[in-house]
Amino acid sequence: MNGKDNEKIQRLIERFDSPVPRYTSYPTALEWSEEFNAELFWKAIKSREQKAPLSVYVHLPFCENQCLYCGCNTVISRRKNVIDDYMDHLLSELAFYGEMLGKGITVEQLHFGGGTPNFLRIEDWQKLLASLREIFSFSKDIEQSIELDPMVLSPEYLEYLFKEGFNRVSFGIQDITPKVLGSVNRPQDIEHLDAVILHARKLGFVSVNLDFIYGLPHQTRESYAENLAFIRKHRPDRLAFFSYAHVPWMKSNQKKMDETALPVPEEKLRIYLRVREELLSEGYVQIGMDHFALPGDELSKALASHALHRNFMGYTTKPELDLLGLGASAISQINRVFAQNPVKYNRYKKAVKGEGPRFEKGYGKNDEDEMRSEIIRSIMGSFFFSISGFEKKWNVSFKERFAAEISALQEFAADGLLIVNDDSILLTENGTFGVRHIAKIFDAFRNGNAKTGFSRGI
Protein backbone atom coordinates (compact mmCIF):
# COMPACT_ATOMS: atom_id res chain seq x y z
CA MET A 1 0.00 0.00 0.00
CA ASN A 2 1.36 3.44 -0.93
CA GLY A 3 0.76 6.67 0.93
CA LYS A 4 -2.20 7.59 -1.28
CA ASP A 5 -3.86 4.24 -0.58
CA ASN A 6 -3.28 4.63 3.16
CA GLU A 7 -4.81 8.10 3.09
CA LYS A 8 -7.85 6.75 1.19
CA ILE A 9 -8.32 3.96 3.73
CA GLN A 10 -8.07 6.32 6.67
CA ARG A 11 -10.66 8.66 5.17
CA LEU A 12 -13.07 5.77 4.54
CA ILE A 13 -12.67 4.51 8.10
CA GLU A 14 -13.17 7.93 9.64
CA ARG A 15 -16.36 8.43 7.66
CA PHE A 16 -17.88 4.96 7.65
CA ASP A 17 -16.71 2.99 10.71
CA SER A 18 -19.79 3.62 12.81
CA PRO A 19 -23.02 1.66 13.47
CA VAL A 20 -25.45 1.64 10.56
CA PRO A 21 -28.24 -0.67 9.33
CA ARG A 22 -27.64 -3.26 6.59
CA TYR A 23 -31.03 -2.38 5.05
CA THR A 24 -32.33 -5.81 4.20
CA SER A 25 -35.62 -4.02 4.73
CA TYR A 26 -36.96 -0.53 5.20
CA PRO A 27 -38.07 0.30 7.77
CA THR A 28 -35.47 -1.86 9.51
CA ALA A 29 -36.61 -4.57 11.90
CA LEU A 30 -35.76 -2.24 14.79
CA GLU A 31 -38.81 -0.19 13.85
CA TRP A 32 -41.16 -3.16 13.65
CA SER A 33 -43.59 -3.42 16.52
CA GLU A 34 -44.29 -6.29 18.88
CA GLU A 35 -47.77 -4.76 19.13
CA PHE A 36 -48.21 -5.43 15.42
CA ASN A 37 -51.81 -6.08 14.44
CA ALA A 38 -51.75 -9.40 12.58
CA GLU A 39 -54.98 -8.44 10.85
CA LEU A 40 -52.89 -6.17 8.60
CA PHE A 41 -51.05 -9.25 7.34
CA TRP A 42 -54.21 -11.28 6.78
CA LYS A 43 -55.73 -8.38 4.83
CA ALA A 44 -52.58 -8.19 2.70
CA ILE A 45 -52.88 -11.90 1.89
CA LYS A 46 -56.57 -11.62 1.04
CA SER A 47 -55.92 -8.61 -1.22
CA ARG A 48 -53.30 -10.43 -3.31
CA GLU A 49 -54.07 -11.18 -6.92
CA GLN A 50 -55.20 -14.79 -6.73
CA LYS A 51 -52.71 -16.08 -9.30
CA ALA A 52 -49.79 -13.80 -8.43
CA PRO A 53 -46.62 -15.91 -8.02
CA LEU A 54 -44.69 -16.18 -4.77
CA SER A 55 -41.22 -16.44 -3.39
CA VAL A 56 -41.02 -18.90 -0.46
CA TYR A 57 -38.34 -19.07 2.22
CA VAL A 58 -38.11 -21.97 4.69
CA HIS A 59 -36.00 -21.59 7.83
CA LEU A 60 -34.39 -24.76 9.19
CA PRO A 61 -32.62 -23.64 12.36
CA PHE A 62 -30.71 -26.75 13.45
CA CYS A 63 -26.92 -27.01 13.58
CA GLU A 64 -24.67 -29.68 15.05
CA ASN A 65 -21.97 -27.15 15.95
CA GLN A 66 -22.10 -23.60 17.36
CA CYS A 67 -19.80 -21.34 15.32
CA LEU A 68 -18.74 -18.43 17.50
CA TYR A 69 -19.25 -15.79 14.79
CA CYS A 70 -22.83 -16.86 13.99
CA GLY A 71 -25.57 -14.25 14.06
CA CYS A 72 -28.34 -16.53 12.75
CA ASN A 73 -31.28 -17.93 14.68
CA THR A 74 -30.17 -21.49 15.40
CA VAL A 75 -30.86 -24.53 17.59
CA ILE A 76 -27.73 -26.53 18.44
CA SER A 77 -28.15 -30.29 18.70
CA ARG A 78 -26.49 -33.51 17.55
CA ARG A 79 -29.71 -35.51 18.03
CA LYS A 80 -31.42 -35.87 14.67
CA ASN A 81 -34.77 -36.71 16.24
CA VAL A 82 -35.18 -33.10 17.40
CA ILE A 83 -36.25 -32.35 13.85
CA ASP A 84 -39.37 -34.51 14.21
CA ASP A 85 -41.25 -32.07 16.41
CA TYR A 86 -40.12 -29.08 14.36
CA MET A 87 -41.18 -30.75 11.13
CA ASP A 88 -44.67 -31.41 12.51
CA HIS A 89 -45.12 -27.72 13.30
CA LEU A 90 -43.55 -26.56 10.03
CA LEU A 91 -45.95 -28.73 8.02
CA SER A 92 -48.87 -27.43 10.11
CA GLU A 93 -47.84 -23.86 9.33
CA LEU A 94 -47.56 -24.74 5.65
CA ALA A 95 -51.05 -26.27 5.66
CA PHE A 96 -52.39 -23.14 7.38
CA TYR A 97 -51.08 -20.93 4.58
CA GLY A 98 -52.40 -23.38 2.02
CA GLU A 99 -55.85 -22.62 3.39
CA MET A 100 -55.19 -18.87 3.57
CA LEU A 101 -53.73 -18.50 0.09
CA GLY A 102 -55.50 -21.30 -1.72
CA LYS A 103 -53.73 -24.16 -3.42
CA GLY A 104 -51.97 -23.99 -6.77
CA ILE A 105 -50.18 -20.64 -6.47
CA THR A 106 -47.02 -20.63 -8.58
CA VAL A 107 -43.72 -20.44 -6.70
CA GLU A 108 -40.90 -18.89 -8.74
CA GLN A 109 -38.28 -18.84 -5.99
CA LEU A 110 -37.86 -21.41 -3.22
CA HIS A 111 -35.02 -21.03 -0.77
CA PHE A 112 -33.97 -23.04 2.28
CA GLY A 113 -31.72 -21.41 4.86
CA GLY A 114 -30.68 -21.89 8.45
CA GLY A 115 -29.07 -23.06 10.54
CA THR A 116 -27.92 -25.99 8.50
CA PRO A 117 -30.59 -27.25 6.09
CA ASN A 118 -28.62 -30.44 5.53
CA PHE A 119 -29.24 -31.28 9.18
CA LEU A 120 -32.49 -32.77 7.82
CA ARG A 121 -32.60 -36.46 6.96
CA ILE A 122 -33.67 -37.62 3.51
CA GLU A 123 -37.05 -38.73 4.86
CA ASP A 124 -37.58 -35.23 6.26
CA TRP A 125 -36.99 -33.75 2.82
CA GLN A 126 -39.40 -36.22 1.29
CA LYS A 127 -42.19 -35.07 3.61
CA LEU A 128 -41.40 -31.38 3.31
CA LEU A 129 -41.05 -31.25 -0.46
CA ALA A 130 -44.17 -33.39 -0.96
CA SER A 131 -46.18 -30.97 1.20
CA LEU A 132 -44.84 -27.93 -0.64
CA ARG A 133 -45.72 -29.47 -4.00
CA GLU A 134 -49.17 -30.39 -2.78
CA ILE A 135 -49.94 -26.78 -1.90
CA PHE A 136 -47.92 -24.84 -4.49
CA SER A 137 -47.28 -25.18 -8.18
CA PHE A 138 -43.55 -25.00 -8.86
CA SER A 139 -42.69 -22.88 -11.89
CA LYS A 140 -40.98 -24.84 -14.69
CA ASP A 141 -38.00 -22.48 -14.37
CA ILE A 142 -38.13 -22.19 -10.56
CA GLU A 143 -35.05 -20.94 -8.76
CA GLN A 144 -34.73 -23.63 -6.08
CA SER A 145 -31.79 -22.83 -3.83
CA ILE A 146 -30.31 -24.04 -0.58
CA GLU A 147 -27.56 -23.13 1.89
CA LEU A 148 -25.42 -26.10 2.89
CA ASP A 149 -22.64 -26.79 5.36
CA PRO A 150 -20.20 -28.75 3.19
CA MET A 151 -18.50 -30.37 6.17
CA VAL A 152 -21.60 -32.42 7.04
CA LEU A 153 -22.55 -33.19 3.46
CA SER A 154 -22.16 -36.53 1.68
CA PRO A 155 -22.13 -37.06 -2.12
CA GLU A 156 -25.33 -39.09 -1.88
CA TYR A 157 -27.13 -36.31 0.01
CA LEU A 158 -26.14 -33.74 -2.60
CA GLU A 159 -27.27 -36.07 -5.39
CA TYR A 160 -30.66 -36.43 -3.74
CA LEU A 161 -31.15 -32.67 -3.54
CA PHE A 162 -30.19 -32.25 -7.19
CA LYS A 163 -32.67 -34.94 -8.26
CA GLU A 164 -35.38 -33.13 -6.25
CA GLY A 165 -34.96 -30.02 -8.38
CA PHE A 166 -32.45 -27.91 -6.45
CA ASN A 167 -30.48 -25.94 -9.01
CA ARG A 168 -28.60 -23.37 -6.91
CA VAL A 169 -26.41 -24.21 -3.96
CA SER A 170 -24.46 -22.01 -1.53
CA PHE A 171 -21.68 -23.53 0.52
CA GLY A 172 -20.73 -21.82 3.78
CA ILE A 173 -16.92 -21.83 3.69
CA GLN A 174 -16.19 -18.68 5.78
CA ASP A 175 -12.40 -19.28 5.87
CA ILE A 176 -10.02 -22.17 5.16
CA THR A 177 -7.06 -21.32 7.42
CA PRO A 178 -6.72 -23.52 10.55
CA LYS A 179 -5.87 -20.71 12.98
CA VAL A 180 -8.92 -18.67 12.06
CA LEU A 181 -11.21 -21.68 12.01
CA GLY A 182 -9.98 -22.85 15.41
CA SER A 183 -10.65 -19.43 16.91
CA VAL A 184 -14.32 -19.53 15.85
CA ASN A 185 -15.05 -23.24 16.48
CA ARG A 186 -15.55 -24.03 12.80
CA PRO A 187 -13.81 -27.32 11.86
CA GLN A 188 -13.03 -27.71 8.15
CA ASP A 189 -11.34 -30.33 5.97
CA ILE A 190 -10.08 -28.67 2.79
CA GLU A 191 -9.92 -31.90 0.79
CA HIS A 192 -13.55 -32.59 1.66
CA LEU A 193 -14.52 -29.03 0.65
CA ASP A 194 -12.78 -29.50 -2.69
CA ALA A 195 -14.59 -32.79 -3.30
CA VAL A 196 -18.02 -31.38 -2.41
CA ILE A 197 -17.67 -28.37 -4.74
CA LEU A 198 -16.38 -30.50 -7.61
CA HIS A 199 -19.26 -32.95 -7.13
CA ALA A 200 -21.81 -30.10 -7.27
CA ARG A 201 -20.26 -29.00 -10.57
CA LYS A 202 -20.33 -32.55 -11.91
CA LEU A 203 -24.00 -32.98 -11.00
CA GLY A 204 -24.92 -29.88 -12.98
CA PHE A 205 -26.12 -27.25 -10.49
CA VAL A 206 -26.86 -24.06 -12.44
CA SER A 207 -25.08 -21.96 -9.83
CA VAL A 208 -22.49 -22.96 -7.24
CA ASN A 209 -21.90 -20.18 -4.72
CA LEU A 210 -19.40 -19.81 -1.88
CA ASP A 211 -19.79 -17.72 1.29
CA PHE A 212 -16.86 -16.17 3.15
CA ILE A 213 -16.53 -13.82 6.12
CA TYR A 214 -13.91 -11.13 6.65
CA GLY A 215 -13.13 -9.55 9.99
CA LEU A 216 -12.76 -12.80 11.97
CA PRO A 217 -10.05 -13.33 14.62
CA HIS A 218 -6.50 -13.72 13.24
CA GLN A 219 -7.49 -12.83 9.69
CA THR A 220 -4.93 -10.69 7.88
CA ARG A 221 -4.25 -9.77 4.27
CA GLU A 222 -1.59 -12.46 4.23
CA SER A 223 -3.83 -15.19 5.65
CA TYR A 224 -6.66 -14.25 3.30
CA ALA A 225 -4.42 -15.06 0.33
CA GLU A 226 -5.22 -18.74 1.00
CA ASN A 227 -8.94 -18.03 0.70
CA LEU A 228 -8.35 -16.20 -2.58
CA ALA A 229 -6.32 -19.13 -3.93
CA PHE A 230 -9.20 -21.45 -3.02
CA ILE A 231 -11.58 -19.17 -4.91
CA ARG A 232 -9.37 -19.06 -7.99
CA LYS A 233 -9.23 -22.85 -7.93
CA HIS A 234 -13.02 -23.32 -7.94
CA ARG A 235 -14.22 -20.11 -9.63
CA PRO A 236 -17.73 -20.11 -8.12
CA ASP A 237 -20.60 -18.46 -9.98
CA ARG A 238 -21.29 -16.15 -7.06
CA LEU A 239 -19.38 -15.14 -3.97
CA ALA A 240 -20.58 -13.57 -0.75
CA PHE A 241 -18.07 -11.72 1.45
CA PHE A 242 -19.90 -10.87 4.61
CA SER A 243 -18.41 -8.34 6.98
CA TYR A 244 -18.31 -9.96 10.39
CA ALA A 245 -20.73 -8.16 12.69
CA HIS A 246 -19.46 -8.34 16.26
CA VAL A 247 -22.60 -7.88 18.38
CA PRO A 248 -21.98 -9.90 21.57
CA TRP A 249 -24.76 -7.99 23.35
CA MET A 250 -27.16 -9.65 20.90
CA LYS A 251 -25.44 -13.02 20.31
CA SER A 252 -24.05 -14.65 23.45
CA ASN A 253 -21.94 -17.14 21.48
CA GLN A 254 -19.81 -14.23 20.27
CA LYS A 255 -18.79 -13.50 23.87
CA LYS A 256 -16.62 -16.63 23.75
CA MET A 257 -14.53 -15.14 20.96
CA ASP A 258 -11.15 -13.51 21.64
CA GLU A 259 -11.94 -9.88 20.82
CA THR A 260 -8.26 -8.93 21.00
CA ALA A 261 -7.62 -11.13 17.94
CA LEU A 262 -10.18 -9.32 15.77
CA PRO A 263 -8.52 -7.27 13.00
CA VAL A 264 -8.56 -3.53 13.59
CA PRO A 265 -10.73 -1.49 11.18
CA GLU A 266 -7.73 -0.53 9.02
CA GLU A 267 -6.73 -4.17 8.49
CA LYS A 268 -10.31 -5.31 8.00
CA LEU A 269 -10.83 -2.74 5.25
CA ARG A 270 -7.52 -3.67 3.64
CA ILE A 271 -8.60 -7.32 3.57
CA TYR A 272 -11.77 -6.35 1.76
CA LEU A 273 -9.92 -4.08 -0.67
CA ARG A 274 -7.53 -6.88 -1.51
CA VAL A 275 -10.41 -9.30 -2.05
CA ARG A 276 -12.22 -6.79 -4.22
CA GLU A 277 -9.15 -6.00 -6.32
CA GLU A 278 -8.38 -9.69 -6.82
CA LEU A 279 -11.92 -10.63 -7.82
CA LEU A 280 -12.32 -7.73 -10.23
CA SER A 281 -9.03 -8.75 -11.87
CA GLU A 282 -10.45 -12.28 -12.20
CA GLY A 283 -13.44 -10.91 -14.11
CA TYR A 284 -16.03 -10.86 -11.32
CA VAL A 285 -18.60 -8.08 -11.07
CA GLN A 286 -19.24 -6.39 -7.71
CA ILE A 287 -22.86 -6.91 -6.67
CA GLY A 288 -24.03 -4.50 -3.99
CA MET A 289 -21.91 -4.14 -0.90
CA ASP A 290 -20.79 -7.70 -0.24
CA HIS A 291 -21.39 -9.98 -3.25
CA PHE A 292 -19.59 -10.75 -6.50
CA ALA A 293 -20.77 -12.67 -9.57
CA LEU A 294 -19.43 -13.78 -12.92
CA PRO A 295 -20.37 -11.48 -15.83
CA GLY A 296 -22.91 -13.91 -17.31
CA ASP A 297 -24.79 -14.34 -14.02
CA GLU A 298 -28.31 -12.90 -13.89
CA LEU A 299 -27.31 -10.69 -10.94
CA SER A 300 -24.56 -9.08 -13.02
CA LYS A 301 -26.99 -8.51 -15.87
CA ALA A 302 -29.57 -7.00 -13.50
CA LEU A 303 -26.93 -4.68 -12.04
CA ALA A 304 -26.00 -3.44 -15.51
CA SER A 305 -29.62 -2.55 -16.23
CA HIS A 306 -30.22 -1.05 -12.75
CA ALA A 307 -32.77 -3.79 -12.03
CA LEU A 308 -31.04 -5.35 -9.02
CA HIS A 309 -32.78 -5.32 -5.65
CA ARG A 310 -32.14 -6.55 -2.13
CA ASN A 311 -34.38 -8.34 0.36
CA PHE A 312 -34.15 -10.77 3.28
CA MET A 313 -32.79 -13.54 1.05
CA GLY A 314 -30.05 -11.35 -0.44
CA TYR A 315 -29.84 -9.78 -3.87
CA THR A 316 -32.65 -10.60 -6.25
CA THR A 317 -33.83 -9.92 -9.79
CA LYS A 318 -37.49 -10.42 -8.85
CA PRO A 319 -38.47 -7.64 -6.43
CA GLU A 320 -42.12 -7.82 -7.47
CA LEU A 321 -42.66 -11.20 -5.79
CA ASP A 322 -44.38 -11.42 -2.43
CA LEU A 323 -42.29 -13.38 0.07
CA LEU A 324 -43.76 -16.03 2.35
CA GLY A 325 -41.51 -17.10 5.22
CA LEU A 326 -42.01 -20.44 6.98
CA GLY A 327 -40.39 -21.68 10.19
CA ALA A 328 -39.08 -20.11 13.38
CA SER A 329 -37.88 -16.49 12.90
CA ALA A 330 -38.81 -16.50 9.18
CA ILE A 331 -39.92 -13.20 7.72
CA SER A 332 -42.74 -12.63 5.24
CA GLN A 333 -43.41 -9.59 3.11
CA ILE A 334 -46.82 -9.51 1.47
CA ASN A 335 -47.45 -6.32 -0.44
CA ARG A 336 -46.44 -3.60 2.04
CA VAL A 337 -46.64 -5.66 5.21
CA PHE A 338 -43.70 -7.26 7.04
CA ALA A 339 -44.34 -10.03 9.57
CA GLN A 340 -41.77 -12.10 11.46
CA ASN A 341 -42.52 -15.48 13.00
CA PRO A 342 -41.55 -16.00 16.65
CA VAL A 343 -37.78 -16.34 16.95
CA LYS A 344 -37.61 -18.72 19.90
CA TYR A 345 -38.41 -22.32 19.03
CA ASN A 346 -40.96 -22.84 21.84
CA ARG A 347 -42.80 -19.61 21.03
CA TYR A 348 -42.94 -20.59 17.36
CA LYS A 349 -44.53 -23.94 18.25
CA LYS A 350 -47.15 -22.24 20.42
CA ALA A 351 -47.92 -19.79 17.61
CA VAL A 352 -48.48 -22.58 15.11
CA LYS A 353 -50.83 -24.32 17.56
CA GLY A 354 -52.74 -21.11 18.15
CA GLU A 355 -51.59 -20.84 21.75
CA GLY A 356 -49.70 -17.58 21.32
CA PRO A 357 -49.24 -14.63 18.96
CA ARG A 358 -48.73 -15.71 15.36
CA PHE A 359 -45.95 -13.15 14.85
CA GLU A 360 -43.03 -11.84 16.89
CA LYS A 361 -43.38 -8.41 15.34
CA GLY A 362 -44.33 -6.71 12.11
CA TYR A 363 -44.91 -3.48 10.26
CA GLY A 364 -47.32 -2.07 7.68
CA LYS A 365 -45.75 0.50 5.32
CA ASN A 366 -47.49 3.68 4.25
CA ASP A 367 -46.75 5.66 1.05
CA GLU A 368 -43.90 7.58 2.68
CA ASP A 369 -42.27 4.35 3.88
CA GLU A 370 -42.69 2.79 0.45
CA MET A 371 -41.08 5.73 -1.33
CA ARG A 372 -38.10 5.75 0.99
CA SER A 373 -37.86 1.98 0.75
CA GLU A 374 -37.67 2.21 -3.03
CA ILE A 375 -34.84 4.76 -2.87
CA ILE A 376 -32.86 2.76 -0.31
CA ARG A 377 -33.34 -0.53 -2.21
CA SER A 378 -32.07 1.06 -5.40
CA ILE A 379 -29.00 2.61 -3.77
CA MET A 380 -28.18 -0.61 -1.89
CA GLY A 381 -28.79 -2.86 -4.90
CA SER A 382 -27.43 -0.91 -7.86
CA PHE A 383 -25.44 1.99 -6.38
CA PHE A 384 -27.79 4.06 -8.53
CA PHE A 385 -31.15 5.76 -8.22
CA SER A 386 -33.25 7.14 -11.08
CA ILE A 387 -34.84 10.41 -9.98
CA SER A 388 -36.78 10.78 -13.22
CA GLY A 389 -38.15 7.25 -12.97
CA PHE A 390 -39.17 7.82 -9.37
CA GLU A 391 -40.96 11.10 -10.17
CA LYS A 392 -42.84 9.47 -13.02
CA LYS A 393 -43.97 6.56 -10.84
CA TRP A 394 -44.98 8.59 -7.78
CA ASN A 395 -46.02 11.86 -9.50
CA VAL A 396 -43.97 13.94 -7.08
CA SER A 397 -41.09 16.40 -7.30
CA PHE A 398 -38.09 14.60 -5.84
CA LYS A 399 -36.25 17.87 -5.27
CA GLU A 400 -39.15 19.28 -3.23
CA ARG A 401 -40.12 16.07 -1.40
CA PHE A 402 -36.56 15.22 -0.35
CA ALA A 403 -34.92 18.62 -0.16
CA ALA A 404 -33.25 17.91 3.21
CA GLU A 405 -31.88 14.60 1.95
CA ILE A 406 -30.49 16.16 -1.23
CA SER A 407 -28.77 18.77 0.90
CA ALA A 408 -27.25 16.04 3.11
CA LEU A 409 -25.96 14.21 0.01
CA GLN A 410 -23.91 17.24 -1.04
CA GLU A 411 -21.30 16.47 1.62
CA PHE A 412 -20.79 13.01 0.10
CA ALA A 413 -20.72 14.53 -3.39
CA ALA A 414 -18.09 17.08 -2.35
CA ASP A 415 -15.89 14.20 -1.20
CA GLY A 416 -16.26 12.41 -4.53
CA LEU A 417 -18.39 9.60 -3.12
CA LEU A 418 -21.41 10.15 -5.37
CA ILE A 419 -22.76 12.24 -8.22
CA VAL A 420 -26.13 13.96 -7.96
CA ASN A 421 -27.85 15.57 -10.90
CA ASP A 422 -31.44 16.32 -11.92
CA ASP A 423 -31.92 12.80 -13.27
CA SER A 424 -30.09 10.44 -10.93
CA ILE A 425 -27.87 9.62 -7.96
CA LEU A 426 -24.80 7.54 -8.80
CA LEU A 427 -22.26 6.25 -6.28
CA THR A 428 -18.59 6.34 -7.24
CA GLU A 429 -16.19 3.48 -6.50
CA ASN A 430 -15.22 5.00 -3.13
CA GLY A 431 -18.87 5.69 -2.42
CA THR A 432 -19.75 2.00 -2.65
CA PHE A 433 -17.76 1.37 0.56
CA GLY A 434 -20.16 3.64 2.39
CA VAL A 435 -23.36 2.60 0.65
CA ARG A 436 -25.10 1.86 3.97
CA HIS A 437 -24.31 5.36 5.26
CA ILE A 438 -25.48 6.97 2.03
CA ALA A 439 -28.70 4.96 2.10
CA LYS A 440 -29.20 6.06 5.70
CA ILE A 441 -29.73 9.63 4.48
CA PHE A 442 -33.18 8.52 3.32
CA ASP A 443 -34.00 6.66 6.54
CA ALA A 444 -36.59 8.82 8.31
CA PHE A 445 -36.14 6.82 11.54
CA ARG A 446 -32.44 7.54 11.88
CA ASN A 447 -32.79 11.35 11.89
CA GLY A 448 -29.26 11.68 10.58
CA ASN A 449 -27.77 9.53 13.35
CA ALA A 450 -27.00 5.82 13.58
CA LYS A 451 -28.89 4.03 16.30
CA THR A 452 -27.30 1.60 18.72
CA GLY A 453 -27.86 -2.06 17.99
CA PHE A 454 -26.47 -2.07 14.45
CA SER A 455 -23.12 -3.42 13.34
CA ARG A 456 -20.34 -1.06 12.27
CA GLY A 457 -20.03 0.04 8.67
CA ILE A 458 -16.47 -1.36 8.43
Residues 48 and 133 both lie in one domain: yes
360 located within any domain: no
Residues 391 and 286 both lie in one domain: no
For residue range 197-215, list pLDDT tens digits in order.
999 999 999 999 999 999 9
Residues 300 and 372 both lie in one domain: no
Q: What is the pTM of this model?
A: 0.91
Q: What's the pLDDT at 4? A: 59
Residues whose CB falls within 8 Å of the CB of residue 22, separated by 6 or more in sequence, listed in order: 436, 454, 455
Q: What is the CATH number of the domain that holds 257?
A: 3.80.30.20
| pLDDT exceeds 50 at position 1 | no
Pick the residue with more confidence: 390 or 251?
Answer: 390
Q: What's the pLDDT at 174? A: 95
Domain boundary among 285, 316, 347: 316
Residues 264 and 372 both lie in one domain: no
Confidence of residue 441 (pLDDT cuts 50, 70, 90): very high
384 located within any domain: yes
Confidence of residue 447 (pLDDT cuts 50, 70, 90): low
Residues 309 and 374 both lie in one domain: no
Q: What is the CATH number of the domain that holds 412?
A: 1.10.10.920
Domain boundary among 283, 316, 349: 316
Residues 250 and 393 both lie in one domain: no
| pLDDT exceeds 70 at position 454 | no
For residue range 416-440, list pLDDT tens digits in order.
899 999 999 999 988 888 898 999 9
2 located within any domain: no
Residues 293 and 378 both lie in one domain: no
Q: What's the pLDDT at 433? A: 83
345 located within any domain: no
For residue range 340-370, list pLDDT tens digits in order.
999 999 999 999 999 999 999 999 999 999 9
Domain count, the chain: 2
Residues 264 and 375 both lie in one domain: no
The C-alpha atoms of residue 94 and residue 57 are separated, in whole angstroms, by: 11
Residues whose CB falls within 8 Å of the CB of residue 296, separated by 6 or more in sequence, listed in order: none
3 located within any domain: no
Domain region containing 406:
367-458
* Percent of all residues in the chain with a pLDDT value above 70, rounded to a whole number: 94
For residue range 49-62, list pLDDT tens digits in order.
878 999 999 999 99
Residues 188 and 79 both lie in one domain: yes
Backbone angles phi, psi at 90, to 5 degrees: -60, -45
The C-alpha atoms of residue 79 and residue 148 are separated, in whole angstroms, by: 18
Domain boundary among 277, 296, 316: 316
355 located within any domain: no
For residue range 323-342, list pLDDT tens digits in order.
999 999 999 999 999 999 99
CB 382 within 8 A of CB 306: yes
335 located within any domain: no
Q: What's the pLDDT at 7? A: 67
Residues 301 and 416 both lie in one domain: no
Residues 87 and 164 both lie in one domain: yes
260 located within any domain: yes
Residues 147 and 223 both lie in one domain: yes
